[in-house]
């Protein structure tokens, strides 16, 4: 496996200088952030990013994410043009040495939480999803850090209505179309496309979400039977639904070479199905991180892995979920488990 971390570009307070000091860090997952969804990324911006990253001894082999325009997910408007642009982005990124692209098919809203700074018992702050609060939220009147902020409340309202009309099967149809269009290009460019599950993995605000569980993942992987059509298997996103047994899913899709990118983090599921993001340590949350890492190890995982959201600790201020300290602790912990697994497999020496 190759340990990487998400980096939000030159404006990220977590600098490449800091990132390279995290033990075992080989590269970053990043994106061109100043181009609106649907458009082609200028080659110059892609190459600038790469040069900057490589100057710090890190790689840019993973892009997270190339966003899928809402018109594609809805199958309307300029979807044909945007899909051609998407293919062009795959070609351009491949020519810059990118090997894996993460994307998602969540209608309108990316990851959703009800509080971004919830104090935990140890004094750290975490992202949490309290069902009771979410029920009272009006997505037209708010914005979260992972969401596309370019829509006005009226536009959001229009999108919500359009998805309600489209329904789950309509969304499936558009995902199937998207996959059948982009995958031949990705395969030809030898780029692994990793779809990220919906976070949280259930419908929100009356609009459908479909990348949510084993049955649905089976269905979507069947759209194009090739390892280039793979998963960004996010333990924290799928893992906040009790029905999803993460080590089992890693074993199943890992054995079929359908996981190209692993997001590993822990969540603590509460009695009513709400959840709090916890530290990566198994005993702090509901997921067994050792078993998850063992499943990757046993299935010979050679893809990219990153620690995911961290809490805010030690007084750090920054982008919720994406500070330096707790994610660095997460990376060190995952590396520690991996080293132990490697040594157990052999006579005690590392490969
Ligand atoms: C949450 C992330 C997601 C992810 C996108 C992938 O922090 O894992 O925002 O990057 O959904 O497209």
Active site residue 56: no
Q: For strands 275-277 and 267-269, give the pairing.
A: antiparallel
Per-residue pLDDT, averaged over 266-282, amounts to 97
State the distance from the centre of ligand 1 to the C-alpha of 234, rounded, in angstroms.
Answer: 9
Per-residue pLDDT, averaged over 34-52, amounts to 97
| Average pLDDT across the chain, whole number | 95
> What is the predicted pLDDT for the residue at 348?
62
Residues with Cβ within 8 Å of 273's Cβ and at least 6 positions away in sequence, in order, are 131, 242
Q: How confident is the model at residue 350 (pLDDT cuts 50, 70, 90)?
A: low
Over the stretch 215-259, which tens digit does the pLDDT of each residue have? 999 999 999 999 999 999 999 999 999 999 999 999 999 999 999
Q: Is 70 exceeded by the pLDDT of residue 347?
A: no
Q: Where are the alpha helices (DSSP H) in the chain?
A: 16-19, 43-55, 70-74, 79-95, 131-136, 153-189, 214-221, 235-239, 246-255, 289-298, 325-345
Mutate-to-test residue for ligand 1 from 199, 212, 266, highest number of ligand atoms within 8 A of CB: 199
Q: Which DSSP helix (H) or strand (E) runs through 127?
A: strand 125-129
Mutate-to-test residue for ligand 1 from 28, 65, 72, 320, highest number of ligand atoms within 8 A of CB: 65
Q: Give the dihedral of Cα atoms 338, 341, 346, 351; nearest 10 deg.
A: -10
Q: 287 or 146: which carries more pLDDT confidence?
A: 287
Q: Is 60 exceeded by the pLDDT of residue 146?
A: yes
State the distance from the centre of ligand 1 to the C-alpha of 244, rounded, in angstroms.
Answer: 18
How many angstroms separate the CA atoms of 183 and 191, rounded? Answer: 9
Work out the percent of the chain whose per-residue pLDDT is above 90. Answer: 89
How far CA 234 is from CA of 72, 121, 176, 351, in Å, comes to 23, 25, 21, 27
Per-residue pLDDT, averaged over 335-347, amounts to 91
Going 290 to 121 to 18 to 35, the CA torsion angle's sign is positive
Catalytic residue among 69, 82, 196, 240: 196
Task: From 241, 260, 259, select the one nearest 249 (Cα to Cα).
Answer: 259
Per-residue pLDDT, averaged over 49-73, amounts to 98
Catalytic residue among 234, 240, 297, 304: 234
Catalytic residue among 82, 86, 103, 322: 322
Helix (H, G, I), strand (E, B) or coil at 5: strand
Residue nearest to atom 1 of ligand 1 (CA): 111
Q: Is 70 exceeded by the pLDDT of residue 199?
A: yes
Q: Which residues contact ligand 1 via a Cβ below 6 A?
A: 64-65, 102-104, 110-111, 146, 196, 234, 263, 309, 321
State the distance from the centre of ligand 1 to the C-alpha of 8, rounded, in angstroms.
Answer: 12
Under a CB-based contact definition with an 8 Å cutoff, are residues 111 and 146 in contact? yes
State the distance from the centre of ligand 1 to the C-alpha of 68, rounded, in angstroms.
Answer: 12
Over the stretch 93-122, which tens digit does the pLDDT of each residue have? 999 999 999 999 999 988 899 999 999 999
Per-residue pLDDT, averaged over 336-345, amounts to 94
Helix axes 214-221, 246-255, angle to 10 degrees: 20
> What is the predicted pLDDT for the residue at 349?
61
> What is the predicted pLDDT for the residue at 72?
98
Q: Ligand 1, residue 236: give the atom nearest the CA.
A: 8
Strand partners, 126: 118
Q: 292 or 150: which carries more pLDDT confidence?
A: 292
State the distance from the centre of ligand 1 to the C-alpha of 351, rounded, in angstroms.
Answer: 32
Q: Is 70 exceeded by the pLDDT of residue 195?
A: yes
């Amino acid at each position: 496996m190759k340990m990487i971390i998400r980096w939000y570009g030159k404006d990220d307070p977590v600098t490449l200088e800091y990132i390279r000091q995290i033990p075992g860090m080989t590269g970053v997952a990043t994106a061109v952030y100043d181009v609106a969804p649907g458009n082609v990324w200028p080659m110059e911006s892609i190459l600038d990013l790469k040069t900057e990253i490589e100057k710090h001894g890190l790689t840019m082999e993973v892009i997270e994410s190339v966003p899928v325009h809402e018109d594609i997910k809805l199958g309307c408007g300029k979807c044909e043009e945007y899909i051609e642009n998407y293919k062009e982005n795959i070609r351009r990124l491949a020519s810059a040495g990118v090997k894996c692209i993460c994307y998602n098919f969540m209608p309108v809203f990316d990851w959703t939480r009800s509080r971004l700074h919830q104090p935990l018992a140890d004094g750290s702050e975490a992202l949490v999803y309290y069902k009771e609060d979410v029920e009272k939220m009006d997505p037209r009147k708010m914005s979260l850090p992972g969401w596309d902020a370019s829509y006005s409340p009226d536009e959001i309202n229009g999108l919500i209505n359009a998805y309600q009309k489209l329904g789950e099967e309509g969304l499936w149809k558009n995902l199937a179309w998207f996959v059948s269009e982009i995958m031949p290009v990705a395969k030809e460019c030898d780029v692994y496309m990793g779809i990220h599950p919906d976070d949280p993995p259930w419908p929100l605000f009356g609009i459908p979400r479909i990348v949510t569980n084993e049955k649905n993942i089976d269905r979507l992987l069947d759209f194009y039977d090739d390892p280039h059509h793979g998963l960004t298997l996010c333990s924290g996103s799928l893992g906040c639904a009790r029905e999803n047994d993460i080590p089992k899913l890693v074993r199943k899709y890992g054995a079929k070479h359908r996981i190209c990118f692993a997001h590993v983090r822990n969540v603590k599921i509460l009695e009513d199905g709400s959840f709090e993001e916890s530290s990566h340590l198994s005993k702090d949350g509901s997921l067994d991180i050792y078993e998850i890492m063992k499943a990757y190890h046993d299935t010979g995982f050679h893809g990219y892995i990153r620690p995911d959201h961290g809490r805010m600790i030690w007084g750090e201020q920054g982008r919720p979920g994406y500070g330096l300290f707790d994610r660095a602790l997460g990376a060190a912990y995952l590396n520690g488990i991996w080293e132990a697994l490697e040594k157990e497999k052999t006579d005690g020496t590392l490969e």
